[in-house]
Amino acid sequence: MERVLFLTIAMVLVILGSLSAQADWRDDIGWTKLLTEKGVALENGAGVNIAMSEAFVGSNYLPDLASSQFTGKTFTNGSGIASGISGHANSVATNFYGNTGSIANGISNITLYQADDWINNRLNFVSGADPVAQDFKVLNHSWIGNNANDAAMQNIVMRADYIVNRDNITIVAGTNNANGAIPDLLAHSFNVITVGLTNGNHAYGPTRFYQAGRYKPDIVAPASATSFATPIVSAAAAILYQKGAGTDATNNQVIRAVLLAGATKEEFASTPNVWDQTANRRLDDQFGAGELNIYNSYHILEGGQFDGSIGPSINHIGDHGWDYKNSIAPASSVSYNIDIADGFQWRDFSVILAWNINVIDLDASAAVFNPSAILADMNLDLLDASGTILFTSSSTLGNVEHLYLSSLLSGRYTMRVTSNFNTDFGIAWRGTVAKSEKYAGSDVPHKDGPLTAVPEPTSVLLQLLVAIGFHFVRRRINQ
């Protein structure tokens, strides 16, 4: 029996007086430091196919393709809908792949979608068929959607999670601006990276459906609105894809782990903006893993892949690194040895374990998508030389585990990954090697240390609330 549903996408638009006024965000995320270190050899997203979808602003959703920001780039209008220039799309595109406005200005092959069309005809929500294959590495979604029909919303986010897994892509989506409940789309997904703002002026909190109680966003970035923070994270992902070309680092679980492990916490020093984690909430409820830091993430990837050992660890890892495993047996474990020399420590030790929810299609026909989701329950432990567990990340919610310590003192440790059933995963870590300091509590979360706050962006903003509705017909809803 067919059902007719109505969905409204609500989007806060921020018109910037000048992009140059926000140039310092490159400093904040560590890109300027990285560029100084790497020079012309630094990757810029060249060769990475990307896409972005935009909600209608009036009847427009395309950036200004004639702008000098996009000279030398090839655009494909994937939706095929006639459109004039959207100022919102133009600002998003500039932050994502603009020639002077983006850290990933080498991106040259871009597909553009209208958001309704992407949901209806690419995820195939209207027909109920299998989602269309997405031949991209990074997809940016600077819009949000809400609807009272949770079953419909869940079906859409399950479709998004499905293509992340099937097509091995990274989808990045913003949460809403201003505090409040997180939006249904796409923040309720598992495999999509949800982005908020460093200044905390964004919607955050627990999911309501599709496993209620998970906290979003996953990461934050410095911008005037979530619409523009989101493409900054997407641009960073494109750089990491280029950097990791030809290796296991191009698995989306690794990209997600590397981005989150590189995130910094020192921006969140003053009450109430203190980063913390609890036993069943490994990311901060407002700031996720912290602020995007491409310098840290780049060096995690540059540190190289360390092959974790099945069972007891026999290999030793570096202070920056990552790994990808295409399977882990429920009765087994994957381990990584850490050796820190006498007189030294690893400061700001951050580890992220990331895996995908596995959305499978129970219907063999491509004409009908009947999704069912399986989520592994994975644990991440840190053990000392005697095998005693010192710290554990074993949340029963979501698909990320996170260990974050202000310092790991000299000695031998083991990071151990376990799972309740077979799945693939990515893991990434970083630690800054430093001489040991004599102080108590060196192994407590970094929030207890001296931190420095980062001020809010100070650009003059004009905020417009635009509601875009679209109508669709759907064959069936599965939960």
* Residue ranges covered by each domain of the chain: 3-298+459-474, 306-448
Token reading at 188: 């309720």
pLDDT tens readout for residues 296-325 = 999 999 999 999 998 776 779 999 999 999
- Select the more confidently predicted residue: 477 or 444: 444
Q: Taking residues 209-224, what's their average pLDDT?
A: 97
pLDDT at 259: 99
pTM for this one? 0.89
226-243 vs 252-262: helix crossing angle, rounded to 10: 120
In CATH, 3-298+459-474 is 3.40.50.200: yes
Burial of 449 (0-12, 13-18, 19+ CB in 10 A): middle
DSSP 440: S
Q: Taking residues 29-56, what's their average pLDDT?
A: 98
pLDDT at 471: 31
3-298+459-474 and 306-448: identical CATH topology: no
Strand pairing category for 378-384 and 309-310? unpaired
Question: Which of 196, 202, 215, 137 lies closest to 171 in space, CA to CA?
Answer: 137
Q: Taking residues 86-97, what's their average pLDDT?
A: 98
Q: Taking residues 409-414, what's their average pLDDT?
A: 96
Q: Taking residues 166-184, what's their average pLDDT?
A: 97
pLDDT at 442: 38
Q: Taking residues 182-202, what's their average pLDDT?
A: 97
Q: Taking residues 98-113, what's their average pLDDT?
A: 98
Q: 6 falls in which pLDDT band (50, 70, 90)? A: very low
Mean pLDDT for the chain overall: 87
pLDDT tens readout for residues 338-352 = 999 999 999 999 999
| CATH class held by domain 306-448 | mainly beta
Q: 444 falls in which pLDDT band (50, 70, 90)? A: very low
> Reading across the β-sheet that carries 170-174, which strands appear in turn?
74-77, 109-114, 50-54, 138-141, 170-174, 193-197, 219-221
The conformational region for residue 9 under phi > 0 = left, psi -120 to 50 = alpha, else beta, is beta
Only one residue has tokens 């309704």, namely: 116
Q: 183 falls in which pLDDT band (50, 70, 90)? A: very high
Q: Taking residues 266-273, what's their average pLDDT?
A: 80
Burial of 368 (0-12, 13-18, 19+ CB in 10 A): middle
Phi and psi angles of residue 390, each rounded to the nearest 5 degrees, phi first: -90, -45
Q: Considering the chain, what percentage of its residues have pLDDT values greater than 70? A: 86
